[in-house]
């Protein structure tokens, strides 16, 4: 189970319904679309993908499979850009058991 947390080093604001995020490592400004903005807001309270998918399904008329795919896609993109940090405690435990 992956846990998602916002990178504390990034800067962000939600302006007129859109999230604007600055990655200070490369001084780049990113703009999120409305759904990505909603996920970004949910990350303030939730850090598990399953919970986020559940909330998105409740708020939007969307199939769970599609929602999960979209959320995962976004999280992967954000992780690559160091906007969020993804940890997997189970995997970490596995590694420590066998490592």
Partner 1 sequence: MKLANTVSEEIFRISEEKNIPLYVIFELTHRCNLRCIHCYLPHLNPLPLREREEERGRSRELTRIEIKSILDQLVKEGCLHLVFTGGEIFLREDFYEIASYARGKGFDLRILTNGTLINEQTANSISELCPSSVEISLYGAKAVTHDKITRSPGSFQKTIKAIKLLKKKGVSVIIKCPLMKQNISEYEDLWRLSEDLDTVIKFDPILAPSNNGSKRPLTYRITNTDLSKIFQDKRLFNSSLVPSYLRQRRIRLRWKLPVTSNFICSAGKNLCSISPYGDVYPCLQLPIRLGDLRRKSFNEIWHPEKHGLPQIKKMRIAADKQTRYTIDELRKTRIEDITVCCGCSSAGICNRCPGLAYLEDGDFKGPSTIACQVTKIIKNTV
Interface contacts to partner 1, rule CB under 8 A = 8-13, 15-16, 18, 20, 22, 24-25, 27, 29-33, 35-36, 70, 73-74, 77, 81
Query: In the bound complex, what is the minimum distance in angstroms from residue 39's beta carbon to partner 1?
Result: 8
Choice between 50 and 90, CB closer to partner 1: 50
Choice between 44 and 98, CB closer to partner 1: 44
Query: In the bound complex, what is the minimum distance in angstroms from residue 96's beta carbon to partner 1?
Result: 28
Contact 41, 27 (CB under 8 A): no
Distances from the Cα of 93 to the Cαs of 25, 72, 99, in angstroms? Answer: 30, 22, 9
Distance CA 3, CA 28 (A): 25
Distance CA 65, CA 10 (A): 30
Choice between 29 and 96, CB closer to partner 1: 29
Query: In the bound complex, what is the minimum distance in angstroms from residue 36's beta carbon to partner 1?
Result: 5
Distance CA 66, CA 11 (A): 29
């Amino acid at each position: 189970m992956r846990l998602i947390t916002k990178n504390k080093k990034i800067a962000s604001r939600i302006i007129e319904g859109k999230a604007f995020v600055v990655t200070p490592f490369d001084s780049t400004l990113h703009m999120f679309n409305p759904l990505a903005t909603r996920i970004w807001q949910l990350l303030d309270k939730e850090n598990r993908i399953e919970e986020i998918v559940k909330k998105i399904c409740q708020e939007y008329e969307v199939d769970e499979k599609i929602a999960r795919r979209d959320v995962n896609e976004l999280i992967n993109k954000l992780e690559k850009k160091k906007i969020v940090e993804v940890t997997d405690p189970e995997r970490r435990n596995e590694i420590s058991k066998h490592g």
